[in-house]
């Protein structure tokens, strides 16, 4: 799947030109940049909420993409079992067959209310729900916010396993250590230059931060 687009809000307000990406199963794509650099606009364009100014996001991407974010959550008053029941037996069995670790984590706290789960557990439940919908591309938009070290480790470990199974991951995080932990390609947004640059340098927070400042 190939993306070749310009994004922004109007022809007089173009944020980024000539965005070129080629996506394959299991890719991890990290999108990093300063606050206000346009990461959310990029994601909204991918899911079809904002039309591309030039080119078009392939339907195969738009129909198979879902977002997991610190700003989106499953209603707290639900029981985890309610969520599982809503998903249905057939979809749940498919998750069990393909993503046994995620399935088992959710089953372990099936009797609890969503509000009693840790932030990390809720993230796993959100992934469970996305996988049940058949989506094969997941956007992690600051999904590690508010996670303590233990829960973040559990969550990111499962994300890496998802990529290993063929799910495409888009990741945005202000914590550059998380970016390096996940691995994959790193794209840096430069609003001033209206371009997206690939970072191929040393796997160091200091070096990546310097690269971002120099753009």
Q: What is the pLDDT of residue 144?
A: 86
Q: What is the pLDDT of residues 95-119, one digit of tens each?
A: 999 899 899 999 999 999 999 998 8
Instruction: Note the pLDDT of residue 201.
Output: 93
pTM over 0.75: yes
pLDDT of residue 170: 97
**Contact of 187 with 199, CB cutoff 8 Å:** yes
Fold of 2-73+135-214: Rossmann fold (3.40.50)
Supply the pLDDT for residue 146.
75
Helix (H, G, I), strand (E, B) or coil at 155: helix
User: What is the pLDDT at residue 142?
Assistant: 87
pLDDT of residue 11: 79
Are 141 and 68 contacting, i.e. CB atoms less than 8 angstroms apart? yes
End-to-end CA distance of the chain: 28
Mean pLDDT by 10 residues, the chain (215 residues): 91 88 95 89 93 93 89 87 94 92 92 91 90 91 84 88 94 92 95 92 94 89
CA dist 47 → 42, 63, 211 (Å): 9, 8, 29
Q: Of 105, 88, 89, 213, which Cα lies nearest the Cα of 161?
A: 105
> How long is the chain?
215
pLDDT of residue 72: 72
CA neighbours within 13 Å on the CB side: how many for 84? 24
Domain ranges of the chain: 2-73+135-214
Cα separation values, 174 from 13, 55, 61, 197, 210, Å: 25, 29, 25, 17, 14
């Amino acid at each position: 799947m190939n993306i070749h687009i310009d994004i922004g809000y109007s022809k007089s307000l173009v944020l980024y030109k000539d965005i070129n990406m080629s996506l394959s199963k299991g890719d991890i794509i990290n999108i990093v940049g300063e606050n206000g650099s346009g990461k959310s606009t990029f994601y909204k364009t991918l899911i079809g909420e904002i039309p591309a100014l030039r080119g078009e996001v392939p339907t195969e991407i738009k129909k198979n993409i879902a977002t997991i974010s610190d700003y989106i959550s499953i209603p707290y008053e639900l029981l985890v079992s309610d969520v599982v029941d809503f998903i249905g037996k057939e979809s749940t069995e498919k998750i069990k067959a393909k993503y046994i670790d995620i399935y088992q984590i959710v089953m372990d706290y099936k009797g609890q209310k969503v509000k009693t789960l840790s932030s990390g557990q809720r993230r796993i439940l959100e992934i469970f729900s996305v996988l049940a919908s058949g989506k094969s591309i997941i956007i992690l938009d600051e999904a590690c916010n508010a996670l303590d070290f233990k829960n973040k480790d559990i969550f990111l470990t499962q994300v890496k396993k998802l990529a290993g199974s063929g799910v495409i991951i888009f990741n945005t995080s202000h914590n550059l250590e998380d970016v390096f932990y996940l691995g994959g390609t790193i794209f840096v947004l430069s609003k001033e230059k209206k371009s997206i640059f690939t970072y191929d340098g040393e796997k160091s927070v200091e070096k990546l931060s310097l690269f971002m400042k120099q753009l």
